[in-house]
């Protein structure tokens, strides 16, 4: 019998799933190219510093990986969610 690896859903994954559903984040990103979320909104589900610090892309929550998204701070209390990598690559290919 083949071994099937199952990944446990993390607390961050669960919290982000709820946030994405509540705020329609994927729809907003698809329509506007980004979504701005506050630390206060994130904090309703889990401490924002735990939800927004990722040392490597392998540590990103599943929703971010699956949709090629990342999150960056833009002010002391807000973050932007978008597909920055693809935008940077496109810009670089046009300019480089």
Beta strands in 1-96 (DSSP E): 34-38, 70-75, 78-82
Q: Residue 72's beta-bridge partner residues?
A: 80
pLDDT at residue 8, as a whole number: 80
The token pair at 63 is 């929703």
| Contacts of 85-93 spanning 24+ positions with Cβ under 8 A | 87/33
Taking the C-alpha atoms of residue 88 and residue 78, their distance in angstroms, rounded to an integer, is: 21
Report how far residue 43's alpha carbon sits from residue 9's, in angstroms, rounded to the nearest whole number. 19
Q: What is the pTM of this model?
A: 0.78
Give the domain ranges of the chain: 11-95
Contact 81, 29 (CB under 8 A): yes
pLDDT score recorded for residue 7: 66
33-44 residue pLDDT tens: 999 999 999 999
For the chain, helix, strand, coil in percent to 5 are 55, 15, 30
Confidence at residue 35, expressed as pLDDT on a 0 to 100 scale: 96
């Amino acid at each position: 019998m083949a071994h099937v690896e199952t990944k446990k859903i993390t607390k961050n994954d669960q919290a982000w799933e709820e946030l994405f559903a509540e705020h329609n984040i994927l729809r907003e990103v698809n329509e506007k190219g980004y979504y701005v979320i506050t630390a206060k909104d994130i904090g309703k589900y889990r401490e924002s510093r735990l939800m927004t610090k990722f040392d490597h892309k392998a540590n990103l929550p599943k929703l971010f990986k699956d949709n090629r998204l990342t999150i960056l701070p833009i002010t002391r209390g807000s973050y932007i969610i978008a597909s920055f990598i693809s935008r940077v690559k496109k810009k670089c290919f046009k300019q480089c």
